[in-house]
Structure 1
């Protein structure tokens, strides 16, 4: 190899090395520029977006909800029951829903007495509890116990009762009863509203008076009709009633599931849940009274006990409309009979009005035939039960019924 060839190869090698080094330097420079430019462009692109979002939709500021602690019932607490520790609990509720007079400490409620029925999960307020029933009775500004125990959709009405209509005085406060009534129907004139038949008079010309004057015959009640009379044929007659119109009796159950609040008169102060004060034993005023009492005992004559009067009035909690119905019954003198419901019965059932026709059809009672014979003495009445008073539909008499 000559010198010229060697020189040419050396120059070529140098050129190749320089080219490789230049290529490596250019590659490193390009990557750095790309990495440096990308965050800048991204930041530049994102910055306007953040500013735009901040200006268009402001971020909401969370406002804290104010809560308070209140005492609630964890079970149903009946009226008059002392409140125990396991009957109440303290919970937190928003302040805007807290009653003004609500208790916040359970210790303030435990040991007090429920003024009214307190439902489960109900907030206990100051008006719902009292320290004791005696203090409640003496406060004089809380109203009657009857009003406190009435459901919110009921009103209280008093109606008369007696031994027969009250299930022999079995009805007691807290019971539920149905109301049955009996009505007597008669025919009346739709204009006069008087019992049929109407009385009428003939208007006749006055034979002794001036022309155009009339006289009226005596009043007659009945109806015009015709009858066939032998040898005379059909003749006009006046059919007159042999007795007063007989009313038609109908009985039906009307009001159902009425709550009995009280039987008899309420206490003068309206308090139903106060223990009565024991009546002190009567003491002899002087020796004479004592001696007279001893004589009565020594004579063997039993001293009749003081008779406790039976209640003659009952207070029922009913709907406002049923209260109007009961008032109408009382004003109309309609006899009211109460049917005692089972303590576990809450259902309402429909009943049919009972009439004479209903009795005959349901129990298949047939009319007896007219026979050419009978028994003696004649049977005029089958009411054999003797009671202290005779119960009639509109009046009560004190004369006892007697056997015929």
Structure 2
């Protein structure tokens, strides 16, 4: 009987020890978590961060940026608190998704140097080229710096280029094709600019119509575009959706393409 009583007291002691250990463990966890909770509930600051991975010399748009909350005491120096302050700037270094955007990692392409030139940031394998703003998209004022565009051209081509063909046999047929895709507008130069909104007596124009669009291209692409401009081709620009950079599969369009696609009847008996 005494042996059973001793076993019961031993079992009770073990249970009490386990309970005491559990209480002590829970208390230590609460104590350790208390500073973290206090830090999370402390004051925070909204800062601009990259919404996706960005390469150097990226012209920032609103789609590239987002706002995140950081503890006030750990905000990095140079952090921006407004997305508008970063839009239109060029990145000098790569940025990861969610990384704060710092002012010292950006350059303003619109800052004019003493010689009047913009502080454009070009890579070593690119050149800066001006495209005449003669297309309809430029004239209606839809385009803006940072937009990604595709460039289309229409140009007449000889129908018969065979050896021995005479001038009389060489008839021209117009073809329209995509010359370049996913080109970034770096700047828009000249033309009508918005008037000062602080002057109420002046009526602001409905749209900004630039004289030229500045784009960065590979040298061979720039040379191809110059040939088409010099040849008197008709240029048109289409605007891509934000964030869409993939190539589109498009075929050149001429009269034969239209006849075949739309089953247009031609010739006698149509």
Q: TM-score, normalised by structure 2?
A: 0.52
SS at match of 2:181: coil
Answer yes or no: is 1:251 the counterpart of 2:182: no
Rounded to whole Å, the distance in 1 between the matches of 2:146 and 2:106 is: 21
Distance verdict in 2 for CA 1:195–1:276, change over 3 Å: farther
| Unaligned runs of at least 5 residues, structure 1 | 1-73, 91-105, 198-240, 268-274, 283-303, 372-404
Rounded to whole Å, the distance in 1 between the matches of 2:244 and 2:139 is: 17
Answer yes or no: is 1:196 the counterpart of 2:95: no
Cα deviations by residue, 1:160-182 (Å, 9 ceiling, x for unpaired) = 23353648442222221111112
1:165–1:338: 8 Å Cα contact kept in structure 2?
A: yes
SS at match of 1:311: coil
Residue in 2 that maps onto 1:120: 95
Q: CA RMSD in A?
A: 5.2
Rounded to whole Å, the distance in 1 between the matches of 2:267 and 2:242 is: 43
Residue in 2 that maps onto 1:177: 149
2:138–2:209: 8 Å Cα contact kept in structure 1?
A: no
Q: Which has the larger radius of gyration?
A: 1
Answer yes or no: is 1:263 the counterpart of 2:188: yes
Residue in 1 that maps onto 2:118: 144
Matches within 5 A, 1:88-107: 107=77
Q: TM-score, normalised by structure 1?
A: 0.37
Rounded to whole Å, the distance in 2 between the matches of 1:143 and 1:306 is: 26
How far residue 189 of structure 1 moved from its aligned partner, in angstroms, is 9.5
| Unaligned runs of at least 5 residues, structure 2 | 1-47, 52-58
Residue in 1 that maps onto 2:254: 355
SS at match of 2:266: coil
Rounded to whole Å, the distance in 2 between the matches of 1:182 and 1:111 is: 45
Matches within 5 A, 1:282-293: none
Cα deviations by residue, 1:375-403 (Å, 9 ceiling, x for unpaired) = xxxxxxxxxxxxxxxxxxxxxxxxxxxxx
How far residue 257 of structure 1 moved from its aligned partner, in angstroms, is 0.8
2:80–2:102: 8 Å Cα contact kept in structure 1?
A: no
